[in-house]
Amino acid sequence: MLACKRRRLPSTTKAFVTNLNSAPAAQLRDLLRVAGCNARLVPADADAEVRDVTHDSRQAGPGVLYACRPGHHADGHDFAPAAVAAGSPALLVQRLLDQPVPQLQVPDVADVLGPVAARVHHNPSAALTVCGITGTNGKTTTAYLLESVLRAAGHRTGMIGTVQTLIAGQAVPGVRTTPEATDLQRLLARMRGAGVTATAMEVSSHGLALGRVAGTQFAVALFTNLSQDHLDFHADLEDYFQAKARLFTSAYTPTAVINVDDPYGRRLAQTSDAELVAVSPSGAAGGDAATATPADVTATDVQATGDGCRFVAHLRSGSVVVRTPLVGDFNVANALCAMAAAEVVGVDLATAAAGIAACDGVPGRMEPVDAGQPFTVLVDYAHTPDSLERVLVAARGIIQGRTDRNVVVVVGCGGERDTGKRPLMGRVAARLADLAILTSDNPRGEDPSKILAAVAGGAAVVHGAHWQVVIDRRDAIATALNAAGPGDVVIIAGKGHETYQELGDRTVDFDDRLVARALLTATKAPGESR
């Protein structure tokens, strides 16, 4: 199995890893300058030395500015007394409080938290080549590919994302794709201190909408694609797109690498004021005469098999043959975006191709499980209709249209998340798989049977489809493996790299890869046919 699982941290875990006493201090007056024209310092002549900033009162202490950020469930102002008692020398507030420390008052704490945190840590992103990657699907794989390319180019690298966070090859704990603004700036400062020179960073729509990346300077921003997801958080698909689009302005980055084969990518290419590098894996650039965008980066001679992909990449500086062990022709787009971004920051073509080839896998992304069985088992994080379709189309490519081979998929939908995609997921699974096993994902606080009823509703509209509901995920995986024959492909979709399952108020150990391997090992000897 590929290494590097994400460790889940309890909310009370102390995240501070920087030695605050050795960090150079920022003056409160310095923060007034970055907080905006509507900020004021009370009292006006007050000052204090600040070496860190937090919005969590449990992490407050000497040298730590406490930010009183209002939230959905609690107001940070209510915890200011605890922060002051812990030794915080100053407060960042929206309303003045009866506390015996200087207060920096602003109209909206969340709006300025990123720039303030960046200033406290002396703008760490300015010392790094930060490459930001956003999109519904492909962020993680593109980040891994780009990190590999940057490393091949001689950079000491960092990576921030869904699966793990790396500082010069060392994994550090993380709990979300894009860290909170205070955590992000502290993390970037830690990277700078460790000698990191370039970082591949996933940027989520939540991170953009909530201002987590404000104050971060990106050398280049990448857009992979956009399709329905996170509509439990965003009002609609347009709101989701607008959140993503924020990254592609000159306020964040001078250069935008955009996949213009995607319709939202073409739209973004028309509106971004950053320098455009248009990526078109198909070479068609898509759209009508009004929206078509001439491509700067394309691929030809694409060959996708169960062992990976080979293609010729055409970039602004020339062409090169690229080989990647990553399965699925959709990874050609991910590789092209990574190579285009690398070219922007000065990596030559041969080095970029070598870096792509050296990335031999991404945890939970078309990750093979091989226990000697006579069929292919792949675990993938596909949890949107679009990503599931891409994965199943790739699986059909592996069986090469042979009628004696089948594609079997295990899939579900998470609870307390975008409900509109549930029937869409069921429809995609039933349409593209020869057998779809509908099962629990992370039901969280919802009734799994109700979630699956919605998923099954989508499957039911596909005429002649073969599908069934198996609520228990372990049983569902066993059902899929037992149904597979020689040459078949089994896709276990939805959870990918995750090592847990959220059931009600419990989080239990559950890793699709380990479960599949254990079932395969228990039911047959290696090499034994069924």
Please report the pLDDT score of residue 71 as a whole number: 86
Structure confidence at residue 101 (pLDDT):
96
What DSSP character marks residue 70? B
User: What is the C-alpha to C-alpha distance for residues 278 and 296, in angstroms, rounded to an integer?
Assistant: 5
pLDDT at 530: 46
pLDDT tens-digit profile of 232-272? 665 688 888 888 999 999 999 999 999 999 999 999 999 99
Residues 454 and 417 sit within 8 Å (Cβ to Cβ): no
Superfamily designation of domain 367-523: Mur ligase, C-terminal domain (3.90.190.20)
Model confidence at 313: pLDDT above 70: yes
CB atoms within 10 A of CB 479: 18
pLDDT of residue 230: 56
Residue with tokens 């960092």, as numbered in its chain: 158
3-state secondary structure 349-393: HHHHHHHHHHCCCECCECEECCCCCCCEEEEECCCCHHHHHHHHH
Enter the tokens of residue 7.
Answer: 């460790």
- Please, where are the H alpha helices in 272-370? 330-344, 349-358
Mean local confidence (pLDDT), 483-505: 96
Q: Write a three-state SS string for 108-166.
A: CHHHHHHHHHHHHCCCHHHHCEEEEEECCCCHHHHHHHHHHHHHHCCCCEEEECCCCEE
Please provide the average confidence, as pLDDT, over all residues in the chain. 90
C-alpha to C-alpha distance for 80 and 530, rounded to whole angstroms: 65
**20, pLDDT greater than 70:** no
Q: Bin 295: left if φ > 0, else alpha if -120 < ψ < 50, else beta.
A: beta
Q: According to the model, what pLDDT value does residue 507 have?
A: 95
DSSP three-state, residue 40: strand
Half-sphere exposure of 110 (CA within 13 A, CB side): 13
pLDDT at 317: 95
Name the residue with higher pLDDT: 413 or 285. Answer: 413
Give ranges for CATH 3.40.1190.10 in the chain. Answer: 124-358
Q: What is the dihedral of CA 297, 303, 304, 309, to 10 degrees?
A: -60
- pLDDT per residue over 149-167, tens digit each? 999 999 999 999 989 999 9
- Show Cβ contacts of residue 486 under 8 Å, excluding neighbours closer than 6 positions: 374, 375, 529, 530
Q: Is residue 51 classed as helix, strand or coil in its secondary structure? A: coil
pTM of the model: 0.88
Confidence of residue 293 (pLDDT cuts 50, 70, 90): confident
Q: Which CATH number fits domain 124-358: 3.40.1190.10, 3.40.50.1820, 3.50.7.10, 3.40.630.10?
A: 3.40.1190.10
What is the DSSP secondary structure assignment for residue 59, as one 8-state letter? Answer: G
Lowest mean pLDDT among 11-20, 136-145, 320-329, 494-503: 11-20
Q: What percent of the chain is modeled with pLDDT above 90?
A: 80
On the question of pLDDT at 393 being above 70, the answer is yes
Per-residue pLDDT for 81 more than 90? Answer: yes
Nearest to 347 by CA among 491, 211, 157, 519: 157
Mean pLDDT of 442-464: 96
pLDDT band at 3 (very low <50, low <70, confident <90, very high): very low
CATH topology of domain 26-120: 3.40.1390
Q: Are 517 and 369 in contact (CB under 8 A)?
A: yes
Contact between 363 and 3 under an 8 Å Cβ cutoff? The reply is yes
Average pLDDT over residues 293-302: 93
Q: What is the pLDDT of residues 366-390, one digit of tens each?
A: 999 999 999 999 999 999 999 999 9
In the structure, what pLDDT confidence band is assigned to residue 229 with cuts at 50, 70 and 90? low
Helix axes 139-152, 349-358, angle to 10 degrees: 120
Residue 62, preceding peptide bond in cis (omega within 30° of 0): no
CA distance 312 to 323: 9
Classify strands 26-27 and 103-105 as parallel, antiparallel or unpaired. unpaired
The pLDDT score that the predictor gives to residue 75 is 96
pLDDT on residue 9: 31
Indicate if the pLDDT at residue 278 is higher than 90.
yes
Cα-Cα-Cα-Cα dihedral sign, residues 413, 415, 418, 423: positive
Q: What is the mean pLDDT of residues 313-340?
A: 96
Distance separating alpha carbons of residues 307 and 309, to the nearest angstrom: 7
Non-local (6+) Cβ contacts of 13 within 8 A are 173
Domain(s) labelled CATH 3.90.190.20 in the chain stretch across 367-523
Is beta strand 165-167 parallel, antiparallel or unpaired with respect to 170-172? antiparallel
Helix (H) or strand (E) holding 32: helix 28-34
The segment(s) of the chain belonging to CATH 3.40.1390.10 are 26-120
Q: How far is CA 437 from CA 332, 339, 356, 467, in A?
A: 29, 37, 34, 6
Mean pLDDT of 463-470: 97
Q: Residue 295: pLDDT above 50?
A: yes
